[in-house]
Structure 1
Amino acid sequence: MFKHFRAHRHGHDLGGRDRDWHTFGPHHHRRGRRRRAFEQGDLRFVILRLIAEEPRHGYDIIKAIEDAFGGTYSPSPGVIYPTLTLLEDQGFASVSPGEGSKKLYTITSAGEAFLADNKATLDAIVARMEEASRRFRAGPAPEIVRAVENFRTALRLRLERAPLSSNEIAAIAEAIDAAAAKIERC
């Protein structure tokens, strides 16, 4: 998710897809910069809320957050699991063995009290998540954005590979016209 920023910091250009992805995310800004999905400490409230709904594995938490953002943001395991460990260390969550090597996280009474004491904060975080998801749904569908980028890349790579024959030009133009006609009928 943050490959774009790391790459540019190290002087690498990742090409159009990675460079422009942020414009479709839930936190698009005029200057094209992306805010963090969560402010410092917010994620622990979201995780506690999720395990208060039902005991969950780390992967289930990741998927639930991704679903809450309409697929536009998915927290990495490198963020989720340390936060789960912190919640366990604070006594807000307990862990029990699950299937195989999976751990099942459950909220404790101390965690429930913490959520109750911080209800206004949690409500504000949830409202921001819902607004981000709502804003994104008003924009282009991620599947279409991905497909357009795949098309652009395929066309650019083919045009850079070698000069096109008149038959190849005709075939590519025909394929593009057919796709355009099919889209118009949708």
Structure 2
Amino acid sequence: MRHGSGDPGRGQGRGHGRGHGHGDHGDHGEHGHTGRHRGGKGHQGGRHGRRRVVDGGELRLLILKLLSDTPRHGYDLIREIEDLTGGAYAPSPGMVYPTLSLMQDLGLIVETESEGTRKAFSVTEAGAAELEKDADTADAVLARLSEIGETQERVGGGPVKRAMENLHQVLRSRMMQDDATKDTAFDAAAILDEAAQRIERL
């Protein structure tokens, strides 16, 4: 009897252990898949969800243009482009550093002495000649980025940004009050619609 009662106990323990282990594995697999999916989706959205601000050829000319002013390393180039657009756009390191390597292989840029461990680059004679040949395109790219920066400053900064933040806080606070109803929401929406129409007529 003891032997018979022991077998079911051991069998149940083994079955429970396998079931629990399988559950853990399933949860781990699900979380892992979710993490990869989210990362992939974000990466895909950045690459394919919208048109690139600059393509590979334009980036090469832009780098030559910026390096013609002063030697820079990769991070400086990314930061400078981001500053030009008012923070609206910055090329990824995965786009900038391979381009720098290619330009170095083509003899358009060369490493120069710099402080620290980062590699700084300057334009060679061949790079200067290519920049001069496509100067109009380089200037157009630079102008486009500057225009993005000006738009970003108008839309995202200063008094407009302050007013939008204030509107968000006031609207959220009002709708969370106990006496807020659907009519309150409709009245608020009507005010916002009227404000939008007035802004459109400016």
TM-score bracket for this pair, using the shorter chain length: 0.5 to 0.7
1:138 alignment partner in structure 2:
154
Aligned to 1:77: 93
Over 3 Å counting, the alpha-carbon distance change for 1:131 and 1:4 in structure 2 is: farther
Query: For residue 86 of structure 1, what is the aligned residue in structure 2?
Result: 102
1:47 is aligned to 63
Give TM-score, length-normalised by structure 2: 0.54
Question: What are the within-5 Å matches in structure 2 for residues 1-186 of structure 1?
Answer: 6-7=41-42, 34-141=50-157, 144=161, 148=165
Query: Structure 1 residue 6: deviation in Å?
Result: 2.4
TM-score (norm 1): 0.58
**Going by fraction, where is helix more abundant, 1 or 2?**
2
Q: Distance in 2 between matches of 1:90 and 1:140?
A: 40
The count of corresponding residues between Structure 1 and Structure 2 is 131
CA RMSD of aligned residues (A): 3.5
Question: One-letter code of the match for 1:133?
Answer: G
Aligned partner of 2:60: which letter?
Answer: R
Q: Distance in 2 between matches of 1:77 and 1:8?
A: 13
Q: Which consecutive unaligned segments of at least 5 residues does structure 2 have?
A: 1-37, 179-202
What CA distance in whole angstroms lies between the structure 2 residues aligned with 1:52 and 1:63? 16
**Structure with max Cα Rg:** 2
Aligned residues of 2:112 and 2:121 also touching (Cα < 8 A): yes
- Residue 95 of structure 1 deviates from its aligned partner by 0.9
Residue 72 of structure 2 aligns to a residue whose secondary structure is coil
Deviations 1:127-149 (CA, angstroms, capped at 9, x unpaired): 2112222222220229x59x95x
After superposition, what is the alpha-carbon deviation per residue over 1:136-184, rounded to whole angstroms, capped at 9, x for unaligned? 2220229x59x95xx88xx8xxx9xxxx99xxxxxxxxxxxxxxxxxxx
CA change 1:85–1:132 in 2 (3 A) is same
C-alpha deviation, 1:37, in angstroms: 1.4
Residue identity (%):
37
Structure 1: which amino acid aligns with 2:107?
A: G
Which ranges in structure 1 are unaligned for 5 or more consecutive residues?
11-21, 23-32, 166-186
Write the distance in 2 (CA, Å) between the matches of 1:105 and 1:127.
Answer: 23
